[in-house]
Amino acid sequence: MYSKKVMDHFRNPRNMGEIPDADGVGTVGNPVCGDLMSVHIKVKDGRINDIKFKTFGCGAAVATSSMVTELAKGKTLEEAEKIGRSDVADSLGGLPKVKMHCSNLAADALHAAIEDYRKKKKAER
């Protein structure tokens, strides 16, 4: 049912945890399954220098958030903003239909973290 890549990211999640002095934090939840995901980013020279995730979710949520951190690390904010919901699932070799929302959650949390960063930046000015 799950691709090898999904299982790999589920068993060995990359970039799990929090960044205490994060520049941006995005937390999103899915009202249907009740799962929660948050992404912390550290930004340097317009790039995502460090990224970590935390999830209270299913196995697919762990795998998709792990993948989204790998996709976004080192990217400029503009590039990371373009990482869409289906990119996460595609990079994992696909997801079962009923689990697509888990990958949406991961992309949404990343975008929310970038938005949070931009808002904070504006407030500083």
58 given a catalytic annotation: no
75, 6 contact by CB (below 8 A): no
Minimal distance in Å, beta carbon 58 to ligand FES? 4
Q: Applying CB under 6 A, which part among 6-14, 27-35, 74-82, 113-121 lies near ligand FES?
A: 27-35
Cα–Cα distances (Å) from 64 to 17, 72, 83, in that order, read: 15, 12, 12
Q: For residue 123, what are the contacts with CB-CB under 8 A and spacing of at least 6?
A: none
Nearer to ligand FES, 15 or 65 (CB): 65
Q: For residue 56, what are the contacts with CB-CB under 8 A and spacing of at least 6?
A: 35, 36, 37
Minimal distance in Å, beta carbon 120 to ligand FES? 27
Q: Does 35 bind ligand FES (CB under 6 A)?
A: yes
33 given a catalytic annotation: yes
Minimal distance in Å, beta carbon 19 to ligand FES? 22
Task: Give helix 4-11 / helix 59-72 axis angle, nearest 10°.
Answer: 90
Interface ranges with ligand FES (CB under 6 A): 30, 33, 35, 57-58, 60-61, 99, 102, 105
